[in-house]
Amino acid sequence: MTRQDIRAALIEALSAIAPEGDYAALRGDRPLRDQLDIDSFDFLNVVIRLHDKLGVDIPEADYQKLATPDSAVDYLASRLGVA
């Protein structure tokens, strides 16, 4: 698995929850919740989808590490042992 695969899994999880999102314009350094107008319940569903897709347990204490696309990929890559 590569960082690109992780980003694709993130986009897939997000697009299942917020299909109207403009994923081509998604900025890596801006909060996902602001860019896609998702609430906390939607965000929880994204976390569940990431767990199902990647097999990564994401404790609630780490949710803030998924705030932006870039930080989410960094976090998931570290959990998966991807450089």
pLDDT at res. 71: 98
Judge whether 30 and 37 are in contact, CB under 8 Å: no
Parse the chain into domains and list their residue ranges: 3-80
pLDDT at res. 82: 93
pTM for the whole structure: 0.93
DSSP state of 81: T
DSSP state string for 2-46: -HHHHHHHHHHHHHHH-TT--GGG--TTS-HHHHHT--HHHHHHH
Confidence of residue 83 (pLDDT cuts 50, 70, 90): confident
Q: What class, spelled out in words, does domain 3-80 have in CATH?
A: mainly alpha
Q: How confident is the model over 10-23, as pLDDT tens digits? A: 999 999 999 999 99
Mean pLDDT confidence for 38-64 = 96
Judge whether 3 and 77 are in contact, CB under 8 Å: yes
pLDDT at res. 11: 97
pLDDT at res. 56: 96
Does 2 have pLDDT greater than 90? yes
DSSP state of 67: S
